[in-house]
Structure 1
């Protein structure tokens, strides 16, 4: 007997509704967790809270704690199934001493039973921590160990959120090419692993862009006087001086360039110009100096940036981050790039756990392989084979009128580059680098 039209319509509606429910359940709805949902997720790391890495490690810690506050208190916890799970942090002071790192990470894994790891601060210490994490197949987010060699050892459970060393100076070369295609460049670098990679990247990018490198020389790690090197360099009359240094030697280099009255149209030096100690040591002579940073406050990415790039946004905005940072940091502190990197590491890990709906190390690592995310720190995307960061961009900033402001890349710059910068004599008379 033929079905009545009304019955046919009703059956069709039932089929459509059932199909829709099945589609939602299996495709749209969040995946069900594949294991028992924990009451908390513990993340462990060591930090050089004393010793030579104290400043960067404290900043990193405050950034991590601010991000955890956002996840736990603002976001409501990591969403796994029908449960919102809070993050707990466990950390030890490694005293900036790589000899202590291995045993402390063994303790985090075997005694404290942490679920996930963050690396320590600094490439030499990450090189010690990474094999311990690999031994126990523990996922480790490397937030600020940027030596290229770290991610060339085959560690499948090591993931990076910052730009590795050999790419940190490349945006500076791009900017120089835009400002002055015929600029001549001098590159001077400290003879250590990080700064060798920094200089190598600068030199490779300069050659690639057709810039002329007229001077290229390293200096010993214990240097006390740059005069011989600077005198030799000055004879080449470079338009741009690029120095790859750490804090103490970088400040000394800038002071001696001023004393020798060696001028250039632009002077760039890694992260050192961003430090308060640099401005304090040079005063107005710091004007015009540019530096590269992984992140700088005032030039954070936003949800609108993420949408324009086709990436997912996750985490606090810059203003909210500063509010949370001030709740955990020592009085009078201001977030450095290290704080931004620490925050990014936690945010990236948290979102990956949510997407995996699991604490299984391999499941979370698989999510990290393909995840494209934007936080206030910038872009996250890795090479799935090495775990190297391939999307994050360095920010170039410059001292202009007493403020260290972002000038490159153009999409997040808050000011134009000053080129050429005032001479030393002009700055001694009070001149500032104003666009």
Structure 2
């Protein structure tokens, strides 16, 4: 649902590129814009993928019900969303984005969820000269490849957990030891590499820096490596693995001042962990009370 907060501003900018001087004000008309995307209805990213589908469809429903988006020339734009299930697989993404452009005639694209899948879709968007808004991908490396039509809505991955270190230092200036355990995928790796570098500049000792394969369900080998007395445990990856990691930290009674993990904590379903999720924090994208 995070996409809803930034969507109006981004969409107006995109429409300005798609429909320059669509009609004169005297001939103002209604136009339908097709938004094309894939999302993970199935596979390991299905929780995150369904949130993206629900958020975008809600936005389309609300905007169309309100009459659409009115452009400066008077054109009233309404939206239709066309999506396919990418099954959380990169190999499906490029095939389906090509279909969205060639067969479904999408006017512009929304990225799949996850940096790995979005990276695959970006190639097709650039190849077919289509604007793509990445609403579920944050890896910095995607935006360093020279793409000119890919626009990021999320916080860059390199900033996802640095704020947690700032918070730790503010709450406990004596805290110095941090353990980092993370999924070895594109997004999570970008996050923790930046976190480690930032922590070292702030004088933190990175007591453990360990990655696990995507799909891992047994975190005991990694938890057992966490040195006693660490002030914070940070990392994780996506919803399924991060949730399991948090649960097993609780079951093994790991004691630390802060646990800051990726993706899962802001998700309402994370609360199903019960006591295991208490005091586990995660990053948010937009805050209504922020003064900027």
Equivalenced residue count is: 269
1:203-282 aligned at under 5 Å gives the runs 203-235=196-228, 237-281=229-273
Give yes or no for contact 1:122–1:144 (8 Å, CA) kept in 2: yes
CA contact (8 A) 2:38 2:84 kept: yes
- CA-CA distance at 1:33 after TM superposition: 4.8
TM-score after normalising by structure 2: 0.82
Alpha-carbon distance in structure 2 between the residues aligned to 1:198 and 1:166 = 5
Cα distance, 1:243–1:111 mapped onto 2, change above 3 Å: closer
Residue 198 of structure 1: aligned partner = 191
Task: Measure, in 1, the Cα distance between the counterparts of 2:82 and 2:169.
Answer: 46
Equivalent residue of 1:253, what SS? helix
Q: Please state how far the C-alpha of 1:60 moved relative to its aligned partner.
A: 0.9
Question: What TM-score do you get using the length of structure 1 for normalisation?
Answer: 0.57
Check if 1:286 corresponds to 2:277. yes
Q: What is the aligned partner in structure 2 of residue 120 from structure 1?
A: 112
2: distance between equivalents of 1:126 and 1:219?
A: 22
Partner Cα distance (2:31, 2:67) in 1? 16
Give the gaps of 5 or more residues in structure 2.
1-15, 24-28
Which residue number in structure 2 is paired with residue 401 of structure 1? none
Kept in 2, the 8 Å contact 1:71–1:78? The answer is: no
Rounded to whole Å, the distance in 2 between the matches of 1:120 and 1:220 is 21
SS in 2 for 1:241: strand
Give the superposition deviation at 1:158.
0.4
Of structures 1 and 2, the one with the larger relative CO (CA 8 A, separation 6+) is: 1
**Contact 1:120–1:129 (CA<8 Å) still a contact in 2?**
yes
In structure 1, distance between residues paired with 2:124 and 2:284: 29
Instruction: From the CA coordinates, give the structure whose radius of gyration is larger.
Output: 1
Describe the superposition over 1:48-93 as per-residue Cα deviations: whole angstroms up to 9, x where unpaired: 2222222222211221122223332336423240222212222222
C-alpha root-mean-square deviation of aligned residues, in Å? 2.5
Quick check: 1:174–1:209 contact (8 Å CA) kept in 2? no
Mind listing any 5+ residue stretches in structure 1 that lack a counterpart? Answer: 1-29, 310-435
